[in-house]
Amino acid sequence: MENAAPAEGAVPVGGGWRFLIQPRWLGWHVLMAVSFWGMLWLGDWQLHRALAGNALSWAYTFEWPLFAGFAVVFWVKTIRDEFRIKRGDNPGGTYGEPEDLPFGVRAVQSGAGPAEDEDEELSVYNAYLARLNAEVKDHGRWHGLR
């Protein structure tokens, strides 16, 4: 299931899929596989409870496989997005930023910084960005910033 993702789409020349076998990603693959089979197992357990006469379990009998399906769909799309980001076209359109910059930094830094930008809201935002940038310089990815 998770392994189906690297096969699809145009994989960039030079083995662009290799990030998928980095330890961090392997950890995510394992987590996804365990949660997928775990949720199917929970659905099976609820099915047996439902068949044994627990009417309430019917709801959960259908819910757990749905969650398991969500996990697969989310995972496949996450990996597809990752490929797209690596190729350079951002799926998020205008919200996207280059990989080496924290979110939202480019829009401000790319400007020449006109003098009339000195309104309070903007300077608060700039201070926030500066703090965020310093904070996440090395481990930004781990905290959710690409």
Contacts 24+ apart (CB under 8 A), 125-134: 129/102, 129/104, 129/105, 132/102, 133/102, 133/105
CA distances for 84 relative to 8, 47, 62, 97, angstroms: 12, 39, 33, 13
* Cβ proximity of 93 and 99 under 8 Å: no
By CB under 8 A, tell whether 77 contacts other proteins: yes
Total residues interacting with other proteins, rule: CB under 8 A: 38
- Of the candidate spans 7-15, 37-45, 127-135, the one that interacts with other proteins by CB under 8 A turns out to be 127-135
Member of 18, 48, 87, 141 binding other proteins (CB under 8 A): 141
Site for other proteins in 36-55 (CB under 8 A): none
**At 120, is the secondary structure helix, strand, or coil?**
helix
- Site for other proteins contains 19 (CB under 8 A): no
Helix axes 57-87, 23-51, angle to 10 degrees: 160
CB nearer other proteins, residue 16 or residue 104: 104
Residue from 52, 53, 114, 134 that binds other proteins (CB under 8 A)?
114
Lookup: tokens for 39 = 């949720």
Which chain residues interact with other proteins by CB under 8 A?
28, 56, 59-60, 63, 66-67, 70, 74, 77-78, 81, 85, 90-92, 94-97, 103-104, 107-108, 110-112, 114, 125, 128-129, 132, 141-146
